[in-house]
Chains A and B, each alone.
Chain A
Amino acid sequence: MATGRDDFVIAFRSAFLKKKDKQKFSLLTLIFLSILVIILSSFNFKIIKIIKMGINEVVYRSSFFISIPENKIKKINTQIKEHIKIYDNYKIIETELDNLKQKELSINFLKLENNKLRKLINESIKSDEILAKVLVDKESPFLKSIVVNKGTKDKIKIGMAVTDRAYLVGKVIEVNYTNSRVLLLSDLNSKIPALLEPIGMQAVISGTGKDYAKVQYTKEEYENEIKTKEIIVYTSGLGGLFKPGLPIGKISTDNIKKVDFFSDFKQLEYVKIISFNTKGKS
């Protein structure tokens, strides 16, 4: 019994403490070092922030260059698929364009009316857009985020909304000097206050870790109202984080708790980072 225990202790000590010929540090030293790094990274001291930013800068840039061949292959793959479907898509787009032209007329009228009403209550929303290139878009099955090439240098701040064309795709959660990390709406940790139109109901849109989001915290009667209408999800602007009225997606026809995003998060190349401020009577 004692011999068995001794064998275990010897094997354990040898595994953790002995250095192999080409190893400069023992395993135990490095394990302690990684625990120290985990503890330090959870603190918000200035020096740690600077080191973290430095590491992020170097790793993001390196990853961008190393991923160039992989991204090229992905792009070619997408292009081939698009070419195969080109005729079918053309027919669909032609019909959609016709419908959109009709809708544009009524939208222009509504915009003018909206501006007039805002003037009446002395309220205005001013927003600035910064165009950013996606550097890293490694979609892990656990965390959904992208890295863009704008940072504190370009006055990017944590919490800013990020859009793909007009559609909301996420918010800035980490800012470095020349780049920032954007948490996508599909991430499990993403929660966005939203407005369901045309029924005018407030809700929270939560990420699921998959290609869609789910609707949470709505009234009970919501289900009855939604069944008969096509529901579009917009940002509500509650909490003051996002500009109100940014389109997010639409409620799926097969599941009324599911939101299909307008934007395809796997195809993001350029995004817009939006800052805004609302002025008006309080």
Chain B
Amino acid sequence: MSSLNKISFSTTFFSYFPIVILFISVFNEIDFNYLKIQYFSFNFVHILIFFWTLKNPNHLGYISIFVAGIINDVIVGLPIGISSFCYLLICSVTAYIRNITLSPNFINDWLSFLFTVLLINSIKVIILDLIFLIEINYTSYLVNTGFTFIFYPLFFFIFNYVNKKIIVKLND
């Protein structure tokens, strides 16, 4: 009996892992700014959403992503809706990639991720700068995109490990 409970708990834990991490990271703005390394920042949420909506969309719902975007905007102080829009654009790209890909491979995913992050950061900059007239630092966005791209493989392997656990647990 106790063994059954254990399995049930770990299955639930792994199932909710992406959502829990998503909300913790938007509430805490995880980008390691406190390390005070000049220009260093990366967008963990972009990596998280890209990976999970590409590999296992059933564990990261679009509604959760939409709400996480709203929370992120409120925390950071951006006009409400911008992050949701950008996050959902990531989902659109990953949904499209999922539909056209027969045999997924890491390099293709990584390059698609670069394209996606460049696209959404460009859209974000255009909306903030041209529509809302908020002055922004283009270099910061570019550096952020670069680091987010560089960090993708690291988180890919971590998330991939968790994803395999989820699949195994659900098939048990």
Contact = CB atoms under 8 A, between A and B. Distances in A.
B85 interface: yes
B74 A55 contact: yes
Say whether chain A's binding surface is mostly helix, strand, loop, or mixed.
Answer: helix
Given A31-B85, A37-B80, A25 B136 contact: no
Size category of the B interface is 35 or more
A67 interface: yes
A150 interface: no
Q: Determine chain B's interface SS by DSSP, over half rule.
A: helix
Interface string B57-83: 110011101100111001111111110
Contacts of A15: 92, 95-96, 98-99
B112 to A, nearest CB: 13
A160 to B, nearest CB: 17
Contact of A41 (B29, B69, B81, B99): B81
Given A14-B95, A27-B92, A141-B41, 16 more contacts: A14-B99, A15-B92, A16-B92, A21-B58, A23-B63, A27-B91, A33-B66, A34-B84, A35-B81, A36-B81, A38-B80, A60-B74, A141-B31, A142-B76, A174-B77, A266-B36
B58 A140 contact: no
B14 to A, nearest CB: 15
Interface string A126-163: 00000000001011111101000000000000000000
Interface in A241-282: 266
Contacts of B81: 34-41
18 contacts: A24-B61, A27-B62, A31-B92, A33-B66, A33-B84, A34-B66, A34-B88, A35-B85, A38-B80, A38-B127, A41-B79, A59-B70, A59-B75, A60-B75, A66-B24, A66-B28, A139-B29, A188-B136
B34 interface: yes
B119 interface: no
A67 B69 CA distance: 18
B27 to A, nearest CB: 4
A70 B24 CA distance: 11
Given A15-B96, A34-B66, A142-B137, A136 B75 contact: yes
Interface of B: 24, 27-29, 31, 33-34, 36, 38, 41, 57-58, 61-63, 65-66, 69-71, 74-82, 84-85, 88-89, 91-92, 95-96, 98-100, 127, 131-132, 134-137, 140-141, 144
A56 B136 contact: no
A62 interface: yes
A2 B79 CA distance: 42
B36 to A, nearest CB: 8
Nearest to A7: B100
A250 B151 CA distance: 38
Interface of A: 7, 10-12, 14-16, 20-25, 27, 30-31, 33-42, 52, 55-56, 59-60, 62-63, 66-67, 70, 74, 136, 138-143, 145, 174, 181, 188-189, 209-210, 266
Contacts, number: 137
B44 to A, nearest CB: 13
A209 B31 CA distance: 16
Most buried by A among B66, B82, B144: B66
Contact of A27 (B70, B88, B100): B88
A61 to B, nearest CB: 11
A122 B12 CA distance: 72
A25 B96 contact: no
A270 to B, nearest CB: 19
Given A15-B92, A20-B58, A23-B61, A181 B77 contact: yes
